[in-house]
Chains A and B, each alone.
Chain A
Amino acid sequence: MSTTVLRKDSSAPTPPAPAGPPEGPRARGGAVALLGQIALYALLAVVALAVLLPFIWMLISSVKDDRDVFTVPIQWIPEEFKWENFATIWTRVPFAAYLGNSFFLSIVITFLQVLTGSFAAYGFAKMRFPGRDLLFTGYIATIAVPWQAYMVPQYVIMQKFGLVNSYTSLILLQAFGAFGVFLMRQFYLTIPDEISEAARLDGLTEYGIWARIVLPLSKPALASLALLTFVNTWNDYMGPFIYLTDNRLWTVQLGLRAFIGQYDAESAMIMTGSVLSLAPVLAVFLLGQRYFVRGIATTGVKG
C-alpha cells in the first residue's frame, strides 16, 4: 500500500547529469537527458496549467464585474477588483445557512460512517465465523450496483416512514455505506494478527482489541475515510436534490444550483458562490492531502 503517492520523491533531487569527460558519447547522452528533462518539465507545466485553468478563471471571475466576465478577449487581470462580491452574496442568498446545513450533514454522516464502518470492518478482517465471507461478498457486490438502480425503492421506504424532506433520510442513506467497511477492512488486513493474538492472551476481549489496539493503529486509515466521506457528502448533489425539498434544509450544492437558475446573468456572482462552496473542501484537502491519497490508493489494493 502506498502512503504517499502524491508526495513520493518530492525531496529527491534530480539526478545530476553524468559528470563524464566533456566530449564523447557520454556527455552527449547527458545533454540529451537534460534536454529531455527540460522538455518533460515544460510539457507537464503546460498540462498542469491547462488543468487548473478552469479554477484560475473561476477565481478571477469571482472578483470581476458581471459585464467583465465574458469580454473578448478575456481579461486575465480585471481592471477593477470587485472584492465586495464576497460581501454582497450573503445578502442575495442564505449562503450562511446553506453552509451550516452542509457542515451539519457532512459531520454527522462522516462520524457515523467512520464509527460503524471501522467497527464492522473488524468483524470482517479479524474474526472468523460462518457466513462472514458470504456477507462480505454481498457488501462488495452492492458497490458495483449503480445507485440509480435502487434509488426508487429507497425513496419509497423513506416515504413510508415519512422521512422525505428531513436530514434523517440522508443520514441513514449515507452513514451505513459499504464503502467505509471495505476501506477499513483493507487497512485492517495489513495489521499483523500476532498483535491481536497477543492481546487475546493478555485477556482483552475482541471489543477491547478493537478499541485499544486496532483503532489507535489505524489512525491514518480513519483519517482517510473521514476525509473522503466528508468531501463526498459535502459535494453530494443527487441525495439532497431528491430528498430535500424545503429551502431551509438545503445544502450548499442545492443553493448554488438554485442561485444559478435564478440569477442567470450574474456570472460574476455565480463564480463568487462557487468559490465559497469550494473553500471548505479546499481547506480540508490541503490539510489532509496525504490521507486522501492514501485512502484512494488503498481501494486499489487487492485484499
Chain B
Amino acid sequence: MSVDAPTATQHAPGGASAAHQAAAKRRRRRNLLVGWSFILPNFLGFAALTLVPVIGALAISFTHWDSYSTPKWAGLDNFQRLWDDSNFWAALRNTLYYAAGHIPLTLVVALGLAVLLNQKLRGVHVLRTAFFFPYITSLVAVAVVWNMLLSPESGPVNQFLTFLGVDHPPGWTSSQDWAMPALIVTSVWRDMGYYMVLFLAGLQTVPAELYEAARMDGAGAWQRFWHVTLPGLRPTTFFVTVMITVSSFKVFDLVQVMTEGGPGRSTLVLSQLIFREGITQGRFGYASAVSLVLFLICLVITVIQFRMQRRSER
C-alpha cells in the first residue's frame, strides 16, 4: 500500500542516513504532489458543488435571504419561525411516520428474500433478478403504475381487496389516512431488491462450515438462522440499516411524483418542505434552516448506529 514504506532506512548508520533521509523527503513531497494531482480533477468539482454548498447551507440558515435581496444576518430567526411553523411539524411527523414504516419493513423483507434466495435452487437467479428489477425502475414510472394500481374505484389492488371480502377498500393516495401507507408499500416494493443484493453478498461471507457444524449439533432451520446467519450477517445488517434509515429521511422523488405531499399535507415530508420553501418560494434562509434539521437528524442517527455497532462488537 505504502509508497514510502522504508522508514527503517532512517536508522541506517553513518553518512548514508542523511542521504536516505533527503531521498525519503523528496519522495514524500513527490507523493504529495502526484497524489493530489490524481484527486484534483474530481475534487475541484466535488468541493465547488458539494463541500462548499454543505457549508453554505449552514451559513445561509442564519440569514434572511430571498432570491432578490442580499443576505442579512438573522441570528436564530429562521429557527424561531420553524418552531412556530405547523407545516414544519407536519413534515417532521410525516417523515418519522414514513421512516417508521419503511425501515423495518424493508429490512425484514430484504433479509427474508436474501435468506430464501441464498439456497441451492434451480433457477434461483431468475428469481433474484425479478426481485431486483423494481429498483432500477424510474421513480416516475413506479409512481405512475402504483397510482393506477391503487386507484380507489377500480384499481387492481382494490378489486383484489374486494374479492377478499373487504367492503370498503381504502382510497389510498386520495385519502389522508391511507396516502402514507400507500407510499410506504410502494417504496418497500421498490427498494427491497437493492438491500437483498447487499444481504446476499453478506450471506456469502458466512462460512459454510458453521452451518455444517450447527446441522451436526441438530439445529433446525430456524435455529441455524438465529445462531449462525444473523450473527454472521451483523456487519452487513448494520451497514444496510444505516443506509435504509438515512435514505428514508431523504425521501423525496416518490412523494413528489405520487402525491405531491397531499392530500392536504398528509404526505408532506421534510425534503419537500425544503424544496418548496427554497427552490419554489426562494426563501433560502428558511429552507436552509429546515435543511439543517434534516442534516442533524441524519447525523445523529448515523452516530447512534455507529456507537451501537461498536458496542455490539465488543
Q: A145-B54, A193-B1 are in contact. Are A293 and B132 (CB under 8 A)?
A: yes
Question: Which of chain A's residues 29-47 have a Cβ closer than 8 Å to chain B?
Answer: 37, 40-41, 43-44, 47
Q: A124-B39, A146-B246, A297-B198 are in contact. Are A153 and B271 (CB under 8 A)?
A: no
**Chain B residues, Cβ within 8 Å of A256:** 140-141, 144
**Chain B residues, Cβ within 8 Å of A69:** 148
Scoring A residues 134 to 160 as 1 if CB is less than 8 Å from chain B, else 0, what string do you get? 010011001011111111111111010
Binds B, one of A20-28, A84-92, A215-223, A231-239: A231-239
Tell me whether B141 and A242 are in contact (CB under 8 A). no
Complex-state Cα separation, A237 to B270, whole angstroms: 18
Complex-state Cα separation, A48 to B117, whole angstroms: 11
- Cross-interface CB contact of A8 among B204, B252, B275, cutoff 8 Å: B204
**Chain B residues, Cβ within 8 Å of A51:** 130-131, 133-134, 189
Scoring A residues 254 to 295 as 1 if CB is less than 8 Å from chain B, else 0, what string do you get? 001100100000010011001001100100010001001100
Tell me whether A238 and B54 are in contact (CB under 8 A). no
**Chain A residues, Cβ within 8 Å of B53:** 150-154, 157
Tell me whether A172 and B45 are in contact (CB under 8 A). yes
Check: B154 CB closer than 8 A to any chain A CB. Answer: yes
Tell me whether B270 and A152 are in contact (CB under 8 A). no
Binding site of B, secondary structure by majority: helix, strand, loop or mixed? helix
Check: B52 CB closer than 8 A to any chain A CB. Answer: yes
Binds A, one of B10-18, B72-80, B169-177, B284-292: B284-292
Tell me whether B124 and A155 are in contact (CB under 8 A). no
Check: B42 CB closer than 8 A to any chain A CB. Answer: yes
Q: A12-B120, A296-B197 are in contact. Are A146 and B42 (CB under 8 A)?
A: no
Output the least CB separation between A150 and chain B (Å).
4
Check: B121 CB closer than 8 A to any chain A CB. Answer: yes
**Chain A residues, Cβ within 8 Å of B230:** none
Tell me whether A44 and B141 are in contact (CB under 8 A). no
Binds A, one of B100-108, B207-215, B233-241: B233-241
Starting from the known contacts A54-B146, A297-B198, 10 additional A-B residue pairs (CB-CB under 8 Å) come to A2-B201, A44-B117, A51-B189, A54-B142, A145-B295, A146-B298, A152-B279, A176-B42, A235-B138, A274-B145
